Structure 1
Amino acid sequence: MQSRPLTRGLTLLLAVVCGITTANAYYAQPLLDRMAHDLNASSSAVSLLVTTGQIGVACGLLFVVPAADIMRRQFLLTALFALDALALAGSALAPDVLVLDLLAVLIGVGAVAIPILTAYAAGLADDATRGRALGVIMGGVLFGILLSRTVASLIAALGGWRTVYAVAALAMAVVTVAVPRIVRDGSRPLRMAYGAQVLSVLTQFRDHPVLRTRCFLGACVMGAFTAFWTSVAFLLTAPPFSYSQIGIGVFALSGVAGALITSGGGRLIDRYRHWRWQSSGVCLAVLALSFALLMLGGTSIVWLVAGAVVMDAAIQAVHVTNQSVVYELNDDARSRLASGYMISFALGGAVGSACSAEAYHRWGWNGSCWVGVALAAAGLLAWAFGSGAERARQHQLRARYEEAGRSPTTV
């Protein structure tokens, strides 16, 4: 079977599938207060749902995604989507938080279909359009994350939090049936033992200093992201806001504005590839400053919305740039590169959510915001002291394109 070209329609379709899939890991965030009440659990106990989900993602990235280079993607993706559907259906029937935590791990494992689809799209695209395609797909992922909170809040207001999981399970059942018709992978799988393939993920870290730096930046921005969204539901349900479930869902739409701001950023990445390192530093600085707005938002919804918009835009910009850089490192190991990068991304999210929940319990909203500031600052330090390898690579790319008679602005 021949691989189909990466058309605009296929790119949008992959973005929709990725958005639906990634939403599964985030439906719980705006529902944590209601789930704690219904299950007679503490806020810190239900907050672990976010952390266990990210642990599941990390496990799937390490042990499942590398298999995408040595087996047919259609089979692997179908299995992952079916696992997601079953775990979501089980969550709708879960009797306590412990069962939800265990199922959240499986939902996280199912979510690793996203980097497999992203690596598939990166392989179909050429150098001139890869950033744009990744920008569209990552926009779909971010829309899925952000709209998941609105959708979950609205459905929960009508039928309770269990209905949210039931509807999500039905959506994933549809995706499971559709994916073999969407992904037509004509590439030949590599002849490599599974164990060697998993170990090869670590080899990519050893061989590529750029990958190590970009993975750390990805972990920092994802940690800042989950630090905010894990605690904001508790802020909004308490005075002075005292929002209902629908009110929380409407607030979650603020993040969509940030996604819209950066939805066309992939085109700029393609055009100004020689500025990717510098733009990452600017966006990390903006991310740190966004938490100052979010601190002011502890008593003002205007500042809270403004901070959320700026934060989401900065995170999306760094994330898309990271992937644009990482997927260029080794054309024959894109799934393993995706695995390595997204493991760091997921672990950063787990750390951010766990630290934010504890900080909110101890010091309130400002404590959670300081977690975000610390993560953004850590990313800035890595950016400032880890530029050597990537700058050298930029010079190599510039020289290569100049020898080929192409404009250096496309490097």
Structure 2
Amino acid sequence: MMKASLPQCLLVAMLHLTVHSLTQSDHHNNKPKVTYPQEQHPHDGDSLESCRRIVPSNIDFAFRFYRQATTQEPGKNIFFSPVSISTAFALLALGSRANSQTQVLEGLAFNLTNTREAEIHDGFHHLLLLLNRPGSQVQLSMENTLFMDKHLKPLKKFLRDIKKLYKGKVFSSNFQNSTEAKKEINDHIKNKTHGNMNQILKDLDPNTLMVIVNYIYFKAYWENPFNIKGTHKDYFHVNAKTSVEVKMMTRDGFYQTYSDRKLSCEVVQLPYKGDVAALFILPNEGKMKQLEDALTKDTLSKWEKSLERRRIEVYIPKLSISGTYDLKKMFMNLGVTDVFSDRADLSGITGKHDLKVSKAVHKALLKIHENGTEAAAVTSTDFLPHSVPPVVKFNHPFLLLIVDQYTQSILFMGKIVNPTEK
């Protein structure tokens, strides 16, 4: 009997740091030493409290980044992990100083008059503990890895903070041999993403001295799997002129849903086993732009508060999509410019002012399937009255948010414009 594969998402955010020639003289940094709270057990209420201090900014950042992506690729599928990108850049902020650091943190939607830098790093520390929490039925792991040239002399404090706050692993590499370094990084990512991400690093600038990799791997089972027997061929309307044939999954059952009349969209929550749920948002034809303009954390919180359990017949296409983004371009549009230029101050990493970020990339991958063998799927049918339920059919462009319910973090966000696009 064939076992259907699982919905999985994974992605990698990478930052390459290269040396830039210094024209200005080294100015010594008199930044006060930041002290961080002691390690806490991941299940402490304090842990959730620290983490919740940064989540509102992370949600704001997710929608900011989404707008950048739609502007750069109108009419295309979008898929990324906001929490992964935020974490990789927060880690970069840890090694940044002065204006470079301010720009990075403000680019991540933090208001630095209300939030201290130490609180931000402490928040990410607890977020990582909670996302990688043991005992959850969801396979969710997020990790930061730094590949440093063996000639680079990082500050002990930087290495200590990376390990303590970001669970960062640091590897010494020989970047003089860029082919070997590239292979080492690609192999590491391939291994960590269970073979799903191959050759993410296409080329390596010969001046690269450090690569920051953040990856997130997510694999979960629907709480209510779709019966494979119900999957059938159907049409998905990409736009007024184009329709594509898809494999449409269908299930009649009870779901948390909400009809947003103001924004002309249907919101359906599909829970995974564990603390994670997918929020599918289907705008009425022609209302996508209106929906996108209204994406804010207030809208999201209104949807989550307004969800009510009702019986519907839901249709969702099977899909496998990916997104690849040039983060340097996106962040520069968000006002983060210094770290990518010769004005970069990354002296928190080595104590010197000669590093800059030369490249930052992000790749994410999503697969949505029935996930369950035919035999097992039949046992999880809801007990339904003999009546015809309303139909919600995701057969034209829709949005998707995958949310960790425990921390309220947006793990992944996407827009499905064409489920067949490779």
Whether TM exceeds 0.5 here: the answer is no
Larger helix proportion of the pair = 1
| Higher Rg | 2
Question: Which has the higher relative contact order, 1 or 2, with Cα contacts under 8 A spaced 6 or more apart?
Answer: 2
The structure with the largest strand share of the pair is 2
TM-score by length of 2: 0.28
